[in-house]
Amino acid sequence: MKKGLKIAIGADHAGFDYKQAILAMFDDITFNDFGTYSSDSADYPDFAHLVSKAVESGEADFGILLCGSANGVAMTANKHQNIRAAICWKQELAIPARTHNNANVLCLPARHMNLEEAKKTIETFLTEEFEGGRHARRVDKISC
């Protein structure tokens, strides 16, 4: 994993505990925590938009979003023109998300994976590089 990465992170109430644990797991990453800041009910789009804007603007290298299923945060993030958000519930899915799809936001389903798998998935997502080539042509066709 590259040193000095800047990661925008956000979660709703379902992902709050995992977000807090993730913030403590990585010493070599600078996180910008966009909330939520408690386990009280919260609306996932509020955090998904903030994380996506940080990635779009270059304020963050990548984003990490958490909610119960990861569907809501992924749908919200993918509304942003230059965001490619991928739902990954195991590290094997993070490989093609980065190498083939050049995903820049990782969406984790907190209710459907354990914390150790989340850590491995994040490490893989932040380590893999986009392969380009034939994949670049496809990625270029994603935006509307």
Helix (H, G, I), strand (E, B) or coil at 7: strand
pTM score of the predicted model: 0.96
> Which residues are catalytically annotated?
67, 100
Low-confidence ranges of the chain (pLDDT < 50): none
Does residue 44 contact residue 73 with C-beta atoms inside 8 Å? yes
